[in-house]
A = this chain, B = another copy of it.
Amino acid sequence: MEQDSKDKLRDAATVLFADHGYGGVSIRQIADAAGMNSALISYYFGSKQGLYEAVVEKQVRIIDKLLYQDMDALDPREVIRQYADVMKQVHKASPVLLKFICRELANPSEVMGFVRQRIAPPLFAIMSKTLQRGIEQGLFRPDLEIRPTVILLVGMINFYYLSHQLQLQAIGPEKERENEDTYMKQAVEIFLQGIERR
């Protein structure tokens, strides 16, 4: 049962850290949620921080697996559409990921800078290249500034999921099935029309 106990602890910790942050959760709460003893955290992970690192490590692996596929051969517009689609999968595969990212935006070293080091750079590299190709092919406006445009694209795609965490239904009924598909489709459309050469 050794691996089983370790996994149970890490899985329970993932949810609790996502919801309450590193400092907002005690090892006893985590152990209780996992149905284990708190001493096992030191045993398996060395310390509370070691456990946190194990949690983050697993989140990063989910992204790596989904995000970094070959996209160089595709039409640049298709890469952008596919990015939106992959992010949908990422957030579905790991509904808590965004909470960790938010925490890190608020405090880039809550425990370690995993977004800054492991997530953002490869993503920005891919997208910069894609925009550059689109400009060279005459698809996109030649006056586009690459970096701001990448930030814009990434923000557009991900902010939808951020806004969801706010439970904003109260401000106006979310229309029937006005769901992530509606949003993504329209966001990508607006972005592509917005950067199109004309």
User: Which of A's residues lie within 8 Å of B, judged by CB?
Assistant: 18-24, 98-100, 102-108, 115-116, 120-121, 124-125, 128, 144-145, 147-149, 151-152, 154-156, 158-160, 162-163, 165-168, 170-172, 174-175, 178, 182-183, 186-187, 189-196
7 A-B residue pairs with CB within 8 Å: A24-B107, A102-B106, A145-B175, A145-B186, A152-B156, A155-B160, A190-B195
**Using Cβ atoms and an 8 Å threshold, which residues of chain B touch A191?**
190, 194
**Using Cβ atoms and an 8 Å threshold, which residues of chain B touch A186?**
144-145, 148-149, 152
Q: How many Å lie between the Cα of A43 and that of B80 in the bound state?
A: 55
**Using Cβ atoms and an 8 Å threshold, which residues of chain B touch A115?**
166
- Interface contact A166-B105, CB-CB below 8 Å: yes
Partner of A108, one of B103, B104, B128, B166: B166
**Using Cβ atoms and an 8 Å threshold, which residues of chain B touch A172?**
124, 128, 147
- Interface contact A187-B152, CB-CB below 8 Å: yes
Task: List the B residue with the shortest CB-CB distance to A96.
Answer: B106
Partner of A168, one of B18, B100, B124: B124
A116 CB → nearest B CB, Å: 5
